[in-house]
């Protein structure tokens, strides 16, 4: 088994190789929160570049619940033709294309001026940056049922548009991850307390998506291997949730970790652990691999072919690559042709970890924006310049988003 071996999923479909373009948040939707020409250009570059699987950036299940301005929303069939075009572009060279579907919960910027919902009324703790997020309101039963219905609706629309699957985002501190973590889920009803109760929302969403879509439509889950916060979601918790997902015959589990408060997905923990600079979650994946009945994928810092080869050699089924593909979209084809190119950004050594995390995301988005305009990436961009440019762009996108909400209320 190598990086270029096929992977047959439990649903019977085949991914042509073991490299996935992992999700990155592009913030490149148009004024109607739809896939734009820039997104089409970006995904064509990845499809042409040789990855076996493309996983989209966040596609939101509710236009009033966004991870940031400029996000894509799929909540009805009014503009399905645009999504059909996107699906066709991403699968033009035989790879699969899944939509990552998501709800931010409490990780929604206050600037977007919407009601913030979460499992419990636990505010974000990001030091001086906490004011960027409003206090959330605990969800009642009706809101929980609405969220379930929205995930299922978005998944069925994705299949109708021609995507080959969806990945339910239950990691990185977003809503489903908030339900899983005892730090953010303080409920005493059937949706909180024991792990079985904290996992109930995720399990119910997956179960209903599976029932509402065809047997060959892939249903995957992105799951934290751990929150990397003391008292949070642990590796043992993750193992138990993977067993639960196995009983539902999910097609793949992608392992990542962390949240906005503890951005382990960028190599920074908050519980005292030191993470390796590449393949952050490999050790966790090896443990989970022992009990998993579905393919396992890891994402986190991988940029060298030797490390990607090691991941596969250790028994992990798929390698998720994000930042390196934002710099070099043809990376897989180059590796296949014998090149050992290693795309990487300048390191950020700022002491303020949350701010450094935001700057790192800004540097990645800077590359994505260049690629979306059919320009080459610039990995040597100064972190402070990318950060400032991102802040300026967000001011424009926030205004545009608020105009959209006003016009569609």
DSSP character at residue 251:
S
Lowest mean pLDDT among 215-219, 296-300, 320-324: 296-300
At residue 400, the pLDDT reads 96
Question: What 3-state DSSP class applies to 308?
Answer: helix
Helices (H), 255-382: 282-289, 305-313, 323-327, 331-336, 353-372
Residue 98 near residue 57, CB atoms below 8 Å? no
Average pLDDT, the chain: 90
Question: CA-CA distance, 323 to 346, in Å (whole number)?
Answer: 12
**135's tokens:** 């206090």
The set of residues, in sequence order, having a beta carbon less than 8 Å from that of 37 and lying 6+ positions away, is: none
Question: CA-CA distance, 303 to 343, in Å (whole number)?
Answer: 6
Question: CA-CA distance, 396 to 389, in Å (whole number)?
Answer: 11
Q: Which helix (H) or strand (E) covers residue 118, if one does?
A: strand 117-118
Question: CA-CA distance, 14 to 52, in Å (whole number)?
Answer: 9
Question: CA-CA distance, 157 to 155, in Å (whole number)?
Answer: 5
At residue 265, the pLDDT reads 43
Question: CA-CA distance, 29 to 38, in Å (whole number)?
Answer: 8
**pLDDT digit string, tens, across residues 22-77:** 999 999 999 999 999 999 999 999 999 999 999 999 999 999 999 999 999 999 99
Q: Which residue did the predictor score with more confidence, 80 or 123?
A: 80
Question: CA-CA distance, 181 to 191, in Å (whole number)?
Answer: 11
Overall average pLDDT of the 119-141 stretch = 84
Res. 407: pLDDT tops 60: yes
- The DSSP string of 170-232 is E-TTSHHHHHH-TTT----STTSSSHHHHTHHHHHHHHHHHHHS-TTSEEEEEEES---STTS
Distances (CA, A) of 92 to 43, 50, 217: 10, 11, 18
Question: CA-CA distance, 376 to 370, in Å (whole number)?
Answer: 6
Question: CA-CA distance, 145 to 394, in Å (whole number)?
Answer: 32
Q: Which residue did the predictor score with more confidence, 124 or 151?
A: 151
Question: CA-CA distance, 343 to 360, in Å (whole number)?
Answer: 15
At residue 62, the pLDDT reads 97
Residue 278 near residue 301, CB atoms below 8 Å? yes
Q: Which domains does the chain have, with CATH numbers?
A: 7-341 (3.20.20.70)
- How, if at all, do strands 14-15 and 7-8 pair? antiparallel
Residue 404 near residue 33, CB atoms below 8 Å? yes
What percentage of the chain carries pLDDT values higher than 90?
Answer: 72
At residue 271, the pLDDT reads 33
Question: What angle in degrees, to the nearest 10, is found between the helix axes of 37-48 and 353-372?
Answer: 90
**pLDDT digit string, tens, across residues 243-289:** 999 999 999 999 886 555 454 444 443 333 333 445 567 778 888 88
Overall average pLDDT of the 340-355 stretch = 82
Residue 365 near residue 323, CB atoms below 8 Å? no
At residue 258, the pLDDT reads 59
At residue 169, the pLDDT reads 97
Residue 350 near residue 359, CB atoms below 8 Å? yes
- CA proximity to 110, closest of 124, 89, 99, 96: 124
């Amino acid at each position: 088994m190598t990086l270029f071996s096929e992977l047959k999923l439990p649903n019977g479909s085949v991914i042509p190789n073991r490299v996935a373009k992992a999700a990155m948040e592009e913030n490149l939707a148009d004024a109607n929160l739809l896939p734009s020409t820039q997104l089409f250009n970006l995904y064509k570059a990845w499809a042409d570049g040789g990855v076996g699987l493309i996983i989209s950036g966040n596609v939101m299940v509710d236009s009033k619940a966004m991870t940031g301005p400029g996000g894509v929303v799929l909540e009805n069939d009014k503009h399905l033709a645009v999504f059909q075009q996107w699906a066709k572009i991403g699968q033009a060279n035989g790879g699969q294309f899944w939509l990552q579907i998501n709800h931010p919960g409490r990780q929604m910027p206050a600037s977007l001026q919407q009601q913030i919902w979460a499992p419990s009324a636990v505010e974000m703790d990001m030091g001086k940056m906490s004011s960027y997020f409003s206090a959330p309101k605990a969800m009642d039963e009706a809101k929980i049922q609405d969220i379930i219905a929205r995930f299922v609706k978005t998944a069925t629309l994705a299949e109708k548009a021609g995507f080959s699957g969806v990945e339910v985002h239950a990691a990185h501190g977003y809503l489903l991850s908030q339900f899983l973590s005892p730090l953010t889920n303080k409920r005493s009803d059937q949706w909180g307390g024991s792990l079985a109760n904290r996992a109930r929302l995720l399990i119910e969403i997956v179960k209903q998506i599976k029932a509402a879509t065809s047997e060959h439509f892939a249903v995957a889950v992105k799951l934290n291997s751990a929150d990397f916060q003391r008292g949070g979601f642990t590796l043992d918790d993750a193992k138990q949730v993977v067993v639960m997902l196995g009983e539902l015959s999910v097609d793949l589990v992608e392992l990542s970790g962390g949240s906005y408060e503890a951005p382990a997905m960028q190599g920074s923990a908050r519980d005292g652990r030191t993470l390796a600079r590449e393949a952050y979650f490999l050790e966790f994946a090896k443990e989970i691999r022992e009990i998993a009945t579905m393919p396992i994928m890891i994402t986190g810092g991988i940029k060298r072919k030797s490390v990607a080869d090691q991941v596969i050699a250790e028994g992990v089924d798929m390698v998720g690559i994000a930042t390196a593909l934002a710099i070099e979209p043809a990376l897989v084809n180059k590796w296949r042709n014998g090149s050992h190119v290693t795309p990487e950004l300048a390191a950020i050594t700022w002491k303020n970890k949350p701010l450094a995390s935001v700057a790192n995301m800004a540097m990645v988005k800077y590359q994505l924006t260049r690629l979306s305009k059919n320009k080459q990436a610039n990995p040597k961009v100064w972190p402070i310049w990318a950060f400032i440019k991102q802040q300026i762009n967000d001011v424009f996108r926030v205004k545009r988003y608020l105009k959209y909400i006003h016009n569609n209320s």
